[in-house]
Chain A
Amino acid sequence: MFGTERGYCNDVSVAVQISNLSIVREGKSIVSGLSADVPSGKIVGVLGPSGSGKTTLFRSIVGVQQIHTGSIQVLGQSAGSKNLRNRIGYLTQSASIYSDLTCVENLHYFSKLLDDSDFSVEEILELVDLTKNRKQLASSLSGGERTRLALATALIGRPELLVLDEPTVGLDPILRRELWNLFHKLADQGKTLLISSHVMDEAERCDTIVLLREGRVLEEGTPSELKARTGQTEMESVFISLVSAQ
């Protein structure tokens, strides 16, 4: 679980191990001295207001962000290593899909790159509820559909670790619940999910949460632990009481 004890680097029970990470962008410190462990097979929520460093943290985990100090171990390897390139599914904050391709064409391209031959594009369309949109150009999809298409591309290749940056933003409550059910299903299959959100009530659906503020870990633990620690009943108030206690 999360904690200050370190040193079990190749432990299979830890999917991502971040120690003393600092990132500076254009002279501005985005992440400073952050340490956290992501346990395997769990859903870990990274919550914090916008500008707290969630996206930069995720980009450094998938290996597209230069880091200044500290280290990140992902699935037993240093973040960004070549061997990780078919083991991580990444959903960027603004859906990174080809808007001038249809849903099926988008998925086919990613499955070719990942050499995912046993994987059925139809199966994954079903999973994100886009079967009826399969021949539709991505540019004509609604915001929520775009996000789900991007999520579908992240699921291709059956990655062990899913890094999802604000996957439920702008979705209606029913879809949001369906997606969270899907996330739990994936976690039950043994996948690790790292999910960011700025909606505090989504924290309830995570196994553990990391509260981020100004690039530092404000608090971490299971939702019930955090509530007990602060004596609050809602995550929103947990966050507020933690900030004001600082």
Chain B
Amino acid sequence: MSIKRIWATARRILSQLRHDPRTIALMILAPCLLMTILKYVYQSQPQVFQHVAGSLLGIFPMLVMFLITSVATLRERTNGTLERLLILPISKLEFILGYAKAFGIAGLIQAIVVTTYAIGPLGLKIAGSQWMLIVVAMLDALLGLAIGLFVSSFAKTEFQAVQFLPAVLLPQLLLCGLLVPRESMPQILRVISYFLPLTYAIDATKKVMIGQGSLVNDLLVIALFLIALLGAGAVTLKRKTK
């Protein structure tokens, strides 16, 4: 494995982003706008804002990164650049890790701006540390990226790739305990929720918000999901087509 080729790929992707200021603006401003709306939607019930906003801090980057990576890798496939890369001395894992690195950095910047905005101007109160919240939000972004990379190998067109968002991410959103505490769900749904990465992401965010409980298990499980999904993404990337 070559760190140099991973870095070269990450730098290439970040340069592509740099030439696309509108995407950068949307990546940073859209979550800030959504947080602002949320704050005023719950103006009469500020405690609901306190409850939901923290969790959403992790979910926005996940959704954004999922969409961006699944479209970006599909674009590499359809415009032939992926085929060009696969005959060069870059391994599939190096390619995937290049993406993870580039969008991990983008996710970190997004997480820093959005949490700072929520805690500052919007007056979101967290009992735990803001840095921990940023770490969790960045892991969520990476999770969205890894899922996006993985599912994009099952999509032949951009239309299909985008449809994976409601198909893959929204069920996790319903089951992760954000809308209804998982304890009050039917047994079968609760069991399923244990196998979904978003569950642990929300769990970690909640713990940071109330400043209680150990994050070690949650972060460990998220890291394992990440490794498994990135590995699966590399395996499903095929050098030869039929």
Contacts and interface: CB of A to CB of B under 8 A. Distances in A.
A153 B80 contact: no
A109 B12 CA distance: 6
9 contacts: A63-B239, A63-B240, A64-B241, A94-B80, A96-B79, A97-B81, A110-B88, A112-B8, A113-B5
A66 B5 contact: no
B239 A80 contact: yes
Interface of B: 4-5, 8-9, 11-12, 15-16, 19-20, 79-81, 83-90, 239-242
A90 B84 contact: yes
A229 to B, nearest CB: 36
A69 to B, nearest CB: 15
B89 A64 contact: no
Contacts of B15: 101, 105
B106 to A, nearest CB: 15
A137 interface: yes
Contacts of B88: 85-86, 110, 113-114
Interface of A: 25-26, 59, 62-66, 80, 84-86, 88, 90, 92, 94, 96-102, 105, 109-110, 112-115, 137, 153
A8 B71 CA distance: 46
B80 A66 contact: no
Contacts of A63: 87, 239-240
Contacts of A97: 81
Contacts of B79: 94, 96, 99
Contacts of A110: 88
B123 to A, nearest CB: 38
Given A96-B81, A101-B16, A114 B239 contact: no
Contacts of B89: 85-86, 113-115
A25 B241 CA distance: 9
Given A65-B241, A113-B89, A114-B89, A96 B12 contact: no
